[in-house]
Structure 1
């Protein structure tokens, strides 16, 4: 990848192609080609992608595929799976795929096959879940556990929380799982006030066992437990951990046998598949957790082996590049039409924006093109009565991913048919829009005079020609949810490979953490704020004054 991206011949060809077609309307392409749906439709790992409602032609896709090959995408994908140091700034591999590797292939890190340790950890998770769910492991007063509190933030929170919600139908409600992340007294208060310390298990999730928010919440939960009947000797019965810092976890009061590993070759936003998923496995059972891993593995194998032209993550990545770099689009809407998938946009925000929100390439030089988009969205059909207005009539467009199971776990009357009809009609409306003449005819049919109809029609014009993908699958199962999350993981990685950025570090996140410590010291009067900029210093003083008012 020595030639800068924008200087590639294929990039210039794409630019010329964009000039030729960007004002054409997708609706005309559908009229000209009654096979368009079949042509731009792909199945993988139990998911189906309809990408026919994109501003592309067969020539567009052919050119984008040439770009992928020019950026050595097949070789980069191979390097990812084989454990090469794709996270170059930290000199680490990115081997989250090893956590769901059901093949016999070894995965080598520093000359050692990590698969035996991965399998051993999964076996330990199975034993842990079995003891908790079968009530063999009990609290200090011999009561079985009714609640589990997972204490973590970022990837230790968003992924497991999403999966717990997405797979709620597989939760037999033996144990309630709560996710504590925010360093906010209101959050921890609302969780703890409903719990009984005698029947609550806490799982502290932090690689360093020193993440500010996680450690603070863990210490508060520890104190709550000790203040409500528990003793220091009882801590090992009520606390477990997922951490690389065994010494600090033991010092906290956690038994060594209840500390699960975290590895440097798994980034936080990819850690759902590891012991970070322990609270989820407790909720839905280890068999269902394993089935989720199998769904992800199926998508891994597709991404690893499918040709570029039939590779779902690669196609989605290239579509994103097409919109970001040629149409100048800076956002992407994620629209799940499934109540259980309502946490998906938040998880994908972290996955995409933390991975590809970069302005420095892997060569250490500032890039001269746009990279990761802003990810936003929400559950359908609620969004139709809010931000869909911007999707349809705003001055700029956001490519949208409609995501839905075709069958519901809760088939009440024709609810699900109505929900799916909303998703399909929204993507159709984004495609077709409404012309001024259609708006006039609509107004006249409603009984308006011709003058009134003409005056109002301009407000009702919807341009259409706004792109969307539709990702659908039979039902939200552990397998399909695993495949869906892995699909986006690989899409994001493939985009990073094309843009030439490191999708596996997050130095911008680290800066805020470092600065937070000095600001906290100033807020608590342990340090001066004089060295801060005047705004931060002024806000510190405002905080102190308002504390005095209470």
Structure 2
């Protein structure tokens, strides 16, 4: 298989790079390079358009050959049937089972755990824990990013419960949450897979002290535990009836579909959380049942690898032309860079080329007045992804949303076409690639579909590169050194030692 993969990459490397504008001499280009996923009756859909990238029929054909050589279909089957796809830790990756696609036993377990969460959410809404107006959700990484993204995107101002997601160990983050909450009507959700994450447990203890200092009679009775280690939560003092477990086989950055999604269900209502699951499942079914270039997450991976490996693009930018998706670039940073930021393949051998590009981005139209100068006239070639919704999320004059979409589409057109000028400072080279993802509406189903699309895109990239996207050992070394600093007795390099002494930590 290794020789076939090498030969496929060699063939891909022989393709010329025609200018984007030249590719539009094909009158069917948009039809060939755009695809749509329907989310169900009355749910609308999502359009994906790669026509402004350098992908061609012949490139797509050779990428399909690479996918075959890399065993993409077999790897996909393993993922979706609960086989081991994380060889370094000997685990399956069963986030799709939370949406109903996976091993029968895992799907049944997910259904049971979701039912348990629903009962608790509905009990809280009905007053079983007294008046609840606020939730402080402490977690870090995927235990925080997913809930924060979803609550923000689905209408924070309309929430049944005011949610504050706190991930940073910096006390300023907690103090801001405290300032916005009434301790008498606040719950604490502690989200930690192991229930031992230092930052999360430190923040949780500080919330308990805040409860105590503000006269809450039973601070421990205000705690909900979201964890794959319920025994540790019991030991920490959480009542079993308020522990919402999730499976060990669901990683943190894929965990928004589990009890980690508790803040979404509590804030927006159970039906909205279910709609997210259903939107994600539609994408799961598309990913499972569609082959080759017609598989849209796989096609996205083809474009990603073309620019990262064949055009030496070190970054990929994502701009959401929708304020509701302001947190999406940060969510994708973790999903893509923690999953595919690796230097060895699954067999332990060094990777043969670049892996994950640096994911970054922002919100349009703000970003146009900040970073688009570099995108249009800088020396870096940066593939750009635009995400927008046809339906507005506001009730203001429709001109607001019209201007937003016009700017989004204009940026893609300008990056591709460029503009000549006798004044070099006013010349735009053009030929800058963009992809556009256009939702009919940004509701819960569409958000679930968007997240699932990027999960499968990340997995497809990993398979084609031969790496494991489900471990993340790279985050451990810095934590280990921080622990040594806390314990004391260890001397470090001269620079680190001087910093520790200057901060009074040595």
Taking structure 1 as the reference length, the TM-score comes to 0.88
3-state secondary structure, aligned to 2:21 = helix
* Contact in 2 for aligned 1:235/1:254 (Cα 8 Å): no
Deviations 1:375-404 (A, max 9, x none): 000011100001111111111111011000
* Whole-angstrom CA distance in 1 between matches of 2:127 and 2:302: 49
* Whole-angstrom CA distance in 1 between matches of 2:65 and 2:231: 51
* Whole-angstrom CA distance in 2 between matches of 1:145 and 1:477: 25
1:80 equivalent to 2:79? Answer: yes
1:207 equivalent to 2:207? Answer: no
Residue in 1 aligned with 2:176?
Answer: 190
* Whole-angstrom CA distance in 2 between matches of 1:213 and 1:266: 20
3-state secondary structure, aligned to 2:317 = strand
3-state secondary structure, aligned to 1:401 = strand
* Contact in 1 for aligned 2:319/2:387 (Cα 8 Å): yes
Q: 2:455 aligns with which of 469, 489, 506?
A: 489
* Whole-angstrom CA distance in 2 between matches of 1:536 and 1:83: 44
1:323 equivalent to 2:284? Answer: no
Instruction: Please give the root-mean-square deviation of Cα atoms over the aligned residues, in Å.
Output: 1.5
Residue in 1 aligned with 2:14?
Answer: 16
Residue in 1 aligned with 2:31?
Answer: 38
Q: 1:539 aligns with which of 488, 499, 502?
A: 499
- TM-fit CA distance, 1:197: 1.5
Q: 1:151 aligns with which of 138, 141, 166?
A: 138
Q: 1:517 aligns with which of 445, 468, 483?
A: 483
* Whole-angstrom CA distance in 1 between matches of 2:11 and 2:383: 23
1:473 equivalent to 2:439? Answer: yes
1:284 equivalent to 2:280? Answer: no
- TM-fit CA distance, 1:236: 4.2
Equivalent residue runs for 1:44-443 within 5 Å? 44-45=37-38, 46-101=45-100, 107=103, 113-138=105-130, 144-168=131-155, 172-231=158-217, 234-413=218-397, 414-435=399-420, 439-440=421-422
* Whole-angstrom CA distance in 2 between matches of 1:425 and 1:193: 41
- TM-fit CA distance, 1:266: 0.4
Taking structure 2 as the reference length, the TM-score comes to 0.96
Residue in 2 aligned with 1:528?
Answer: 489
3-state secondary structure, aligned to 2:442 = coil
3-state secondary structure, aligned to 1:487 = helix
* Whole-angstrom CA distance in 2 between matches of 1:34 and 1:296: 33
3-state secondary structure, aligned to 1:541 = helix
3-state secondary structure, aligned to 1:260 = strand
- TM-fit CA distance, 1:411: 4.0
* Whole-angstrom CA distance in 1 between matches of 2:49 and 2:227: 40
* Whole-angstrom CA distance in 1 between matches of 2:113 and 2:482: 34
Residue in 2 aligned with 1:3?
Answer: 3
* Whole-angstrom CA distance in 2 between matches of 1:79 and 1:172: 40
* Whole-angstrom CA distance in 2 between matches of 1:365 and 1:4: 17
* Contact in 2 for aligned 1:146/1:175 (Cα 8 Å): yes
* Whole-angstrom CA distance in 1 between matches of 2:160 and 2:300: 39
* Contact in 2 for aligned 1:402/1:423 (Cα 8 Å): yes
* Whole-angstrom CA distance in 2 between matches of 1:316 and 1:338: 21
> Which stretches in structure 1 are left out of the alignment for 5+ residues?
139-143, 441-456, 522-526
Residue in 1 aligned with 2:41?
Answer: none
Deviations 1:174-195 (A, max 9, x none): 3100001100011111111232
- TM-fit CA distance, 1:226: 1.4
3-state secondary structure, aligned to 1:149 = strand
* Contact in 1 for aligned 2:160/2:269 (Cα 8 Å): no
3-state secondary structure, aligned to 2:209 = helix
- TM-fit CA distance, 1:535: 1.6
* Contact in 1 for aligned 2:21/2:417 (Cα 8 Å): yes
* Whole-angstrom CA distance in 2 between matches of 1:115 and 1:62: 35
* Whole-angstrom CA distance in 1 between matches of 2:158 and 2:410: 35
> Which stretches in structure 2 are left out of the alignment for 5+ residues?
39-44
* Whole-angstrom CA distance in 1 between matches of 2:427 and 2:314: 24
* Whole-angstrom CA distance in 2 between matches of 1:212 and 1:240: 18
* Contact in 2 for aligned 1:235/1:253 (Cα 8 Å): no
* Contact in 2 for aligned 1:433/1:463 (Cα 8 Å): yes
3-state secondary structure, aligned to 1:193 = helix
3-state secondary structure, aligned to 1:55 = coil
* Whole-angstrom CA distance in 2 between matches of 1:412 and 1:16: 52
3-state secondary structure, aligned to 2:363 = coil
Deviations 1:287-342 (A, max 9, x none): 11001000000000100111212111000001111111110111000111000000
Residue in 1 aligned with 2:42?
Answer: none
* Whole-angstrom CA distance in 1 between matches of 2:474 and 2:80: 26
Residue in 1 aligned with 2:23?
Answer: 29
